[in-house]
Amino acid sequence: MINEILEILPITILVGLIYLIIRIKNLKKQKINYYKETVYFLFVCYITALVNLVLVPNNFWYNIWSLIKTGMLADQIGPFLTFNYKLESTILLILKGEYVSSAWVKFMIVGNIILFIPLGMFINLIKEKISNIKIIILSIIIPICVETFQLLIGRTFDVDDLVTNTLGILIGYYITKLIKIIILKIKKTI
């Protein structure tokens, strides 16, 4: 997982810098809201990293960096359109006591939740007012779109990812909502 993060770091930085240059150029004569601009910049970097982690074919960036370094592809990209799917929920099997989870399974479950927490936070920070029903719908639709697209690029549609990604978005959204409430209460007492 660390190697995958290191592989996408250069493209994330590049996209972030391009975004920053465009924003600076467009905001030359306007009053700048630094908080808002920082949130947008971090969101662009996060989305770039997230897309590269979950929606880019296996070995894509590894091969790109190998091609740049050696002039040769290191491994096969893809395969595409394999339509791999896992509809049996490991989480449900663990809860029912029918499956003993390994460290890898626990890491993947927790990792998928953590991976999507920032998305929920950014939704709350960027969209000031959003109803509870809309955030629930968004937190379900986004993982469905991600998992469906993964079928096309040779990755696996996984029911556990739907559940964990949805939980991650909701946790991030409501953590940020709670923090905003606490900050408002603190401001009122000052």
pLDDT tens for 98-157 read: 777 788 888 888 999 999 999 999 999 999 889 999 999 999 999 999 999 998 888 889
> Which residue is associated with the tokens 């000052």?
190
Predicted TM-score of the model (pTM): 0.87
61 touches 7 (CB < 8 A): yes
**Cα–Cα distance, 86 to 34 (Å, whole number):** 44
- Specify the higher pLDDT residue, 93 or 130: 130
Task: Give all strands (DSSP E) within the chain, no chain letters.
Answer: 84-86, 156-158
Average pLDDT over residues 166-175: 98
Provide the 3-class DSSP secondary structure of residue 188: helix
pLDDT score for 78: 66
| pLDDT band at residue 35 under the 50/70/90 scheme | very high
Indicate the average pLDDT of the chain.
Answer: 89
pLDDT score for 97: 80
Q: Where are the domains of the chain?
A: 1-78, 79-190
**Cα–Cα distance, 96 to 104 (Å, whole number):** 19
Dihedral sign, CA of 133, 183, 179, 49?
A: positive
Question: What residues have CB less than 8 Å from 99, skipping those under 6 apart?
Answer: 90, 93
**Cα–Cα distance, 167 to 171 (Å, whole number):** 6
**Which residues are bridge partners to 156 per DSSP?**
84
| pLDDT band at residue 57 under the 50/70/90 scheme | confident
Residue 40 confidence (pLDDT) above 70: yes
pLDDT score for 31: 86
Average pLDDT over residues 146-175: 93
pLDDT score for 1: 66
| pLDDT band at residue 95 under the 50/70/90 scheme | confident
Average pLDDT over residues 29-55: 93
DSSP summary character for residue 75: S
DSSP summary character for residue 170: H
The tokens of 42 are what?
């971090």
52 touches 155 (CB < 8 A): no
